[in-house]
Amino acid sequence: MKINIKRVYEAPAKEDGTRILVDRLWPRGLTKGKAAVDIWLKEIAPSTELRKWFAHEPAKWDEFKKRYYHELKENNEQVLLLKEQLKKGAVTLVYGAKDKEHNEALVLKEYAS
Query: How far is it, in rounded angstroms, from Cα 110 to Cα 113?
Result: 5
List, for residues 64-100, the tens digit of each pLDDT value. Answer: 999 999 999 999 899 999 999 999 999 999 999 999 9
* Domain segments of the chain as ranges: 3-112
> What is the reported pLDDT for 99?
93
List, for residues 19-41, the tens digit of each pLDDT value. Answer: 999 999 999 999 988 999 999 99
The pTM of the full predicted model, rounded to 2 decimals, is 0.93
Q: What are the Cα distances from residue 10, in Å, to 40, 52, 60, 97?
A: 17, 24, 26, 12
Query: How far is it, in rounded angstroms, from Cα 99 to Cα 73?
Result: 24
Q: What confidence tier does 1 reach under pLDDT thresholds 50, 70, 90?
A: low
